[in-house]
Structure formats: C-alpha cells, structure tokens
C-alpha cells in the first residue's frame, strides 16, 4: 500500500454534544510532521449552551482503509472570563464589605 498526500482532518469543539466551533483542515503538515491546530471561542453567559459539558471531536476526513490522521497532545482549556456586569457586582460587594468594616472600626473606637 503506497499512500502519498494528507487525507485531511477536522477538529470540533462541542458543548452539550453540539458543534460550536471547528477547524476544518486549515493545516497541511509535511509527511511525518505535526502542526498545532488552535482556535478560540468566546460566548456570553446567556448563550444557550453555556454551562454544558465541553468536548473535542477529532475527525479523519478520508477514513478509507489504511488511511489515517494522527493526533497528539490534544487538550481543551476553558477559562471563565467575567462579564462587565459581574465586575460591577464584585465592586459593589467589595465596597459594601469595606463600608461595614469601616463602620465597625468606628464603633470600636
């Protein structure tokens, strides 16, 4: 069996089992080499799939006999970034705590 060329791949980011982002064959590695597929997605707390389980699907676009795509060091990093409203509520809560603390300090004196 002689194979030349790259069969292609797709990397899907899933939330609740639904595809929310993909890298559809954007890289073309040389024979015997690896490249890094990386993409990011930002969604708000009101997104219909926010809070759902996240997953990664790795797809060989030409899954014929003896044709393979190899993936290595696959990882998913999810970082929650507070929205502006969350910053405002945190600031308000910290101001309230400081006001209560200051009031208690004055009562003690």
Going from N- to C-terminal start, the domains of the chain cover: 1-78, 80-109
Under 8 Å between Cβ of 85 and 45:
no
Find the angle CA(31)-CA(34)-CA(35) to the nearest 5 degrees. 120
Q: What is the mean pLDDT of residues 34-47?
A: 83
Please say whether the beta carbons of 12 and 41 come within 8 A.
Answer: no
pTM, rounded to two decimals:
0.65
The average pLDDT across 32-53 equals 84
pLDDT of residue 18: 94
The answer, yes or no, to whether residue 65 has pLDDT greater than 50, is yes
Selection from 46, 53, 61, 59 nearest residue 14 by Cα: 53
How far apart are the C-alpha atoms of 25 and 34, rounded to whole Å? Answer: 13
Q: Which pLDDT score is estimated for 90?
A: 56
Of the two residues 33 and 85, the one the predictor is more confident about is 33
Mean of pLDDT over the chain? 75
Whole-angstrom Cα distance, residue 96 to residue 38? 42
pLDDT at 19: 94
Q: Terminal CA-to-CA distance of the chain, rounded, Å?
A: 88
Percent of the chain topping pLDDT 70: 68
Q: What is the pLDDT of residue 105?
A: 46
Residue 68 has pLDDT above 60, yes or no: yes
């Amino acid at each position: 069996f002689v194979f030349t060329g790259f069969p292609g791949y797709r990397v899907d980011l899933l939330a609740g089992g639904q595809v929310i982002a993909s890298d559809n064959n954007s890289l073309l590695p040389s024979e015997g080499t690896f490249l890094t597929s990386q993409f990011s997605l930002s969604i708000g707390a009101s997104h219909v799939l926010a809070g759902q389980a996240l997953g990664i699907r790795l797809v060989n676009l030409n899954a014929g006999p003896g044709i393979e795509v190899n993936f290595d060091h696959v990882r998913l990093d999810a970082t929650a970034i507070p929205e502006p409203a969350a910053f405002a509520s945190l600031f308000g809560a910290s101001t309230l705590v400081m006001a209560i603390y200051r009031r208690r300090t004055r009562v003690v004196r």
